[in-house]
Structures are given as structure tokens and as C-alpha cells.
Copies of this chain bind each other. A is one copy, B any other.
Amino acid sequence: MDSPADTTPLAALLAKVPQPEPGRRKGALHGSTVAQLRNLIVTGALAPGAKLNERELCLQLGVSRTPVREAIKTLTQDGLLRALPNKSSVVAELDVGEIEALIDVVSTIEGLAGELAAARATDEAVAEIGMLHYRMMLHHTRDELPGYFEANKAFHRRIVELAGNPVLLWIWELLALRVDRARYSSNLWPKRWKMAIQEHEQILAALTAGDAALASQRLREHVRNGLSGLVAALKERGEAAKPGSA
């Protein structure tokens, strides 16, 4: 049902008015906004507890409120933000208790990944994971933290992918967000580099041998060691920050 007089469907005739950046496609704003905001949170650029003002974020990211609000909802579901009714969302605190909770879950999940991956490990797949391991060592020798970081994550991700279980990968990615955030928050990591590399070698060996039980156990312990060290570092820093309490 259209209007009575002559409001014809015309807009198509003009159509070429604003030209808002030629390279920008339509469905890309949500994804990129989520990615940007997530990065700000995971890297700590947005500190835990910080309030998110939607209008400010709009200006900062150059988009309207709609994608910003969608991104906030998404990241809230991922556990990186906390939503308060009728108030600004805030960056989730990363308390030590939650990281301790992560230890059990992530180690179990990666343990399962190791078990499944070992059963499916082909020479090619193992070689690829080995390559990631060596890349990580390279970054270690060069003292390149970001590269080390990335290669480490790729090593673990590849194992989870090798497990061939999409649900497992989905869960792992959710957990990885929180783990990454915890890692960024404590850059005392160089201490564990050497140990982590040795453990990776052991894991690789178990995968090469196709020993599911061993791969599972070693991955479990590797994750547990890493996150436990992280908790210790955070606790230490927490104590240092507030020396009065004891």
C-alpha cells in the first residue's frame, strides 16, 4: 500500500549522494568493531573496571551506536565485559579466583584435545605443529614477545584443530580469550619460556608417537603449569601492591 498522491518509489534515481568511503562493504562493521574492542580489552588498553561510554566509543571507532552496542553485547557474552542495568558496561575484572577456575577447565579441554589429536595425527599435521614450535623457539631466542606469544597460541590452536572436534574448538576459543587477557596482564612470562618450550617438545613427541594418553597428560600439565605460574605472578604483584594486608 503506497501513498495516494505521487510519492513514487524514486530514491533509486538519486542514489549517488554520500559515497561514504569506497572500500567499505556493508556487512563488515559489526565484525571489525568487535575485533577492535576485543583487542582493547584483551591487551589491557581498556583496564579492568573501566566504564565504557558508548558515545565515546562511537567517536573513537568512527561508527554509530548500533555496531558499538552489538559489540558490547557480544563481548559481554564472551565474559570480557559486565553489563549493569541502565548503566555503562564495565570491563570485567580479572580476579585471581577466575584464573584459578580457568586452570581446571582449560587444562581439561586441552587434555581432551591432545587425546583426540594424537589419535588423528598424520605426519603432515605433526610436521606443521612442529614448525610452529620452531617458530616459537626462534622468537624466544630473539626475545620477541609478541611473536612468541602468537606462535605459542598458534601451536595450541593447531592441536585443538587437529582434534577434529568443532565443539571443542569453539569452547577452546572462548576460553582462549580469557587466558590471553590474563597473560597480557602479567608480563612476567619470560621466566617460563624455557620450560614451556621443553614441555612443547614433550607434547610434540607424544603426538608424533600417536600416544593419546601421554599427549593428553602432557598437555594437561603444561597448561596447568603455565596458568599456575600466571596466578602466582598475579598474586605476588597483588601482595606487592597492597603490602599492608597479610
Binding site for B on A (CB under 8 A): 26-27, 30, 69-70, 73-74, 77-79, 85-86, 98, 101-102, 104-105, 108-109, 112, 116, 165-168, 170-171, 174-175, 178
Contact = CB atoms under 8 A, between A and B. Distances in A.
Given A73-B70, A74-B77, A108-B109, A101 B167 contact: yes
A33 to B, nearest CB: 12
22 contacts: A27-B85, A30-B73, A69-B70, A70-B73, A73-B73, A74-B77, A77-B77, A77-B78, A98-B166, A98-B167, A101-B166, A101-B167, A101-B168, A104-B167, A104-B168, A105-B109, A105-B112, A105-B165, A167-B175, A167-B178, A171-B171, A171-B174
Contacts of A30: 73
A69 B73 CA distance: 11
Contacts of A112: 104-105, 108
Count of chain copies: 2
Given A77-B74, A77-B77, A101-B166, A86 B171 contact: no
A166 B27 CA distance: 34
Given A101-B166, A108-B109, 20 more contacts: A27-B86, A30-B73, A69-B70, A70-B70, A70-B73, A73-B73, A77-B78, A79-B170, A98-B166, A101-B165, A104-B112, A104-B165, A104-B168, A105-B109, A105-B165, A105-B167, A105-B171, A171-B174, A171-B175, A174-B174
